[in-house]
Amino acid sequence: MHLLHDSSAPAAPQIGFDAFLAVDIRIGTIIAAQPFPEARKPAYKLEIDFGPGVGVKRSSAQITRRYDIATLVGRQVAAVVNFPPRQIGKFMSEVLTLGFPDENGDVILFAPDHPAPNGARLF
């Protein structure tokens, strides 16, 4: 199992608060979801609206085992919006959609338990 997915791994080394603030994590609403059959691992292509400050961004998310594509539009998710874009096959992923592994290593999306304004920043 990959170290990042291992729930028994110790905490990462301490960082300063400024390092945390450098990672821009925002809430957005999925406005489109499509299959991504060209991906090496099963994934969906997502378009996520992060509000006027960040705008609509695209993301590849390996969430096919726990989420039906028909249920994703309208769902709020958290994502890192200030990583450089990453080429995944012919698709350019602009943000990193966040989740946690379940007991089988499948991704559980990280989302608020109440609606939040698109673009709200995690603190």
117 contacts: CB under 8 Å, gap ≥ 6: 27, 51
Q: Is the pLDDT of residue 4 over 70?
A: no
Each residue of 80-98: pLDDT tens digit?
Answer: 999 999 999 889 999 999 9
Q: What single letter denotes the amino acid at residue 67?
A: Y
* Distances from the Cα of 108 to the Cα of 72, 92, 101, 104, angstroms: 13, 22, 6, 11
Q: How confident is the model at residue 19 (pLDDT cuts 50, 70, 90)?
A: very high
pLDDT score for 8: 82
Each residue of 98-121: pLDDT tens digit?
Answer: 999 999 999 999 999 999 999 999
Question: 0.85 cut: is pTM over it?
Answer: yes
Q: Is the pLDDT of residue 1 over 50?
A: no
Q: What is the dihedral of CA 93, 96, 102, 108, to 10 degrees?
A: -90
- Helix spans in 49-121 (H): 51-54
pLDDT score for 14: 95
Q: Share the mean pLDDT of the chain.
A: 93
pLDDT score for 2: 44
The structure tokens listed for 57 are: 């961004």
Report the CATH number of the 23-109 domain: 2.40.50.140
